[in-house]
């Protein structure tokens, strides 16, 4: 299958994109591939439920095209991104791949691996339908290279209400200090690992949440634009507090992906988990309803956002089919179907909210009224090499506990990669 694709590989021109925006227009060309390989890391549970909903829309929208599941499991694309790298290097690209909106795509744009989607983006009315800030986040040198499917919030804490109430904790903590107090209280009540945590990138999420509490939204964002130094004393204090919180997490954190960490919460072995709001769909997939959520203590109205988006690879074997996939992703019904299952909110402001939970409705309101801040762990703030360096530094700290080394490594990563934003 892939070799047929490679034989058909051609660089996609802007003109081809416009032609392709009338889906299925090339059906009479027998030599054209009709399989669209969509590369994601949504392999199971709530993530797969979201993907399946999008695939059903694609089948209805793009007659004559067949979805091929190019999926590589592993939260936040930790494995998929490596496989994608290798495939792109070997000139074996999928037709379209999942990426986070923002800085994460910069290197692939520089390498000419993704097509300019500006003309299609405009013809589908996305410039009007998406919030201005998101369009800005997607724009690189005046061009658009990916189409967002939905927006997730990263800085959310998920609870096991039974575990908390057994320890006498009935309200969400209002500050970081109170949160640490609750972790201590849970431990004293016999909960060995009050905070469920997973591997490196989930640890980066936790550090980002702590940094956001201590620096505030503006100075937090400045860490990624160069206006806030990583060497400052507030960062030192945040790392110290992060280290304290880490002591209340499960000792096997470095070997767990996020759904396995979530399992600790579901099984009543932990009281809290910090995770993006894809956690809701996974909890539903596991039939667990005994939870609540709150924004990470001290984050105020900061909405740490990330947007799952799709690209068109320049080497796509089936650019017409892939463009039809993107058109489904971009459409209001596509976003309604996908986000209702995935737990995110539509990137479009005009998508119907039918089938959405109360949490999603409230999050959509927060997205409008809150202060948007980007995420490094999920690519809206950091380029991919920066993200990799930060993940590695957090993984090392998890074993060594050396705060000075962590701060130096994070400062060095910022210094090395900040020019690329």
Nearer to ligand GAL, 163 or 326 (CB): 326
Kindly state the helix (H) or strand (E) to which residue 285 belongs, with its residue range.
helix 279-285
Element (H or E) spanning 169, and its range? none
Q: Which residues contact 386 (CB under 8 A, 6 or more apart)?
A: 103, 376, 413, 414, 416, 417, 418, 420
Given a contact cutoff of 8 angstroms between Cβ atoms, the answer to whether 231 and 409 are in contact is: no
CB of 276 to ligand GAL, least distance (A): 6
Least separation, in Å, of the C-beta of 152 and ligand GAL?
6
Angle between helices 319-330 and 332-342 in degrees, nearest 10: 70
The number of residues in the chain equals: 421
**Angle 390-391-394 (CA atoms, 0-180°, nearest 5)?**
85
Return phi, psi of residue 7, to 5°. -60, -25
Distance of CA 274 to the CA centre of its chain: 14
Q: Which is nearer to ligand GAL, 183 or 295 (CB)?
A: 295
Task: Tell me which of 5, 48, 152, 199 binds ligand GAL, using CB under 6 A.
Answer: 152
Cβ proximity to ligand GAL: between 23 and 53 the closer is 53
CA dist., res. 313 & res. 380, Å (int): 20
CB of 26 or CB of 310, closer to ligand GAL: 310
**Minimum gap (Å) between residue 42 Cβ and ligand GAL:** 6
Percentage helix, strand, coil for the chain under 3-state DSSP, each rounded to 5: 50, 15, 35
Task: Assess 199 for contact with ligand GAL (CB under 6 A).
Answer: no
Please say whether the beta carbons of 278 and 344 come within 8 A: yes
Q: Which of residues 242-261 bind ligand GAL (CB under 6 A)?
A: 258
346 lies in the binding site for ligand GAL (CB under 6 A): no
Of 38, 55, 72, 76, the residue at the interface with ligand GAL (CB under 6 A) is: 76
Does position 278 bind ligand GAL by CB under 6 A?
yes
Residue (152 or 348) nearer to ligand GAL, CB = 152
Q: Is 168 left (phi over 0), alpha (psi -120 to 50) or beta?
A: left
Does 200 bind ligand GAL (CB under 6 A)? Our answer is: no
Q: Which stretch binds ligand GAL (CB under 6 A): 40-48, 133-141, 205-213, 404-412?
A: 40-48
Q: What x-and-dash track marks residues 296-335 binding ligand GAL by CB under 6 A?
A: ----------x-x---------------------------
State which residue, 179 or 258, has the beta carbon closest to ligand GAL. Answer: 258
Which residue number, 152 or 327, has a Cβ lying nearer to ligand GAL?
A: 152
Residue 221 tokens, joined: 């964002």
Q: H helices of 288-402, where?
A: 319-330, 332-342, 358-369, 384-400
- Phi/psi at 159 (nearest 5 deg)? -120, 160
Region from 39-47, 127-135, 203-211, 380-388 binding ligand GAL, contact rule CB under 6 A: 39-47
Asked whether position 75 contacts ligand GAL by CB under 6 A, the answer is yes
Q: Which single residue is written with the structure tokens 């392709």?
A: 20
Q: E strand or H helix at 156, and its extent?
A: strand 156-159
Which is nearer to ligand GAL, 75 or 102 (by Cβ)? 75
Site for ligand GAL in 203-222 (CB under 6 A): none
Q: Can you give the binding site for ligand GAL, defined by CB under 6 A?
A: 41-42, 47, 75-76, 100, 152, 258, 276, 278, 306, 308, 378
């Amino acid at each position: 299958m892939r070799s047929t694709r490679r034989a058909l590989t051609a660089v996609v021109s802007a003109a081809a994109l416009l032609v392709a925006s009338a889906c299925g227009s090339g059906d009479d060309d027998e030599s054209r591939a009709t399989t669209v390989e969509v590369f994601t890391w949504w392999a199971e549970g709530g993530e797969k439920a979201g993907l399946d909903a999008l695939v059903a829309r694609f089948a209805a929208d793009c007659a004559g095209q067949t979805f091929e599941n190019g999926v590589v499991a592993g939260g936040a694309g930790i494995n998929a991104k490596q496989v994608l790298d290798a495939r792109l290097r070997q000139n074996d690209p999928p037709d379209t791949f999942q990426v986070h909106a923002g800085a994460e795509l910069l290197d692939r744009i520089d390498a000419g691996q993704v097509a300019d989607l500006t003309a299609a983006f405009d013809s589908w009315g996305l410039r009007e339908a998406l919030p201005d800030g998101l369009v800005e986040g997607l724009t690189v040198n005046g061009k658009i290279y990916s189409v967002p499917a939905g927006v997730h919030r990263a800085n959310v804490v998920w609870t096991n209400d039974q575990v908390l109430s057994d320890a006498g904790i009935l309200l969400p903590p209002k500050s970081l200090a109170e949160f640490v107090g609750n972790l201590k209280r849970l431990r004293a009540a016999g909960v060995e690992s009050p905070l469920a945590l997973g591997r490196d990138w989930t640890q980066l999420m936790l550090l980002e949440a702590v940094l956001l509490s201590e620096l505030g939204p503006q100075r937090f964002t400045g860490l990624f634009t160069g206006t806030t130094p990583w060497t400052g004393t507030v960062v030192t204090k945040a790392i110290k507090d992060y280290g304290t919180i880490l002591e209340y997490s499960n000792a096997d954190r470095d070997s767990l992906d996020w759904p396995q960490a979530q399992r600790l919460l579901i099984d009543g072995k932990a009281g809290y988990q910090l995770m993006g709001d894809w956690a809701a769909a996974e909890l539903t997939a596991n039939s667990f309803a005994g939870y609540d959520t709150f924004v990470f203590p001290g984050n105020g109205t900061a909405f740490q956002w990330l947007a799952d988006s799709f690209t068109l690879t320049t080497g796509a074997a089936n650019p017409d089919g892939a463009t039809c996939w993107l058109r489904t992703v971009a459409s209001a019904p596509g976003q309604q179907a996908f986000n209702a299952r995935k737990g995110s909110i539509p990137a479009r402001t005009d998508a119907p909210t039918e089938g959405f939970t109360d949490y999603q409705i409230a999050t959509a309101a927060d997205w409008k009224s809150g202060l948007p801040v980007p995420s490094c762990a999920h690519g809206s703030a950091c380029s991919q090499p920066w993200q990799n360096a930060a993940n590695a530094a957090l993984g090392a700290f998890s074993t060594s506990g050396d705060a000075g080394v962590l701060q130096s490594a994070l400062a060095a990563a910022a210094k090395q990669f900040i020019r690329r934003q």
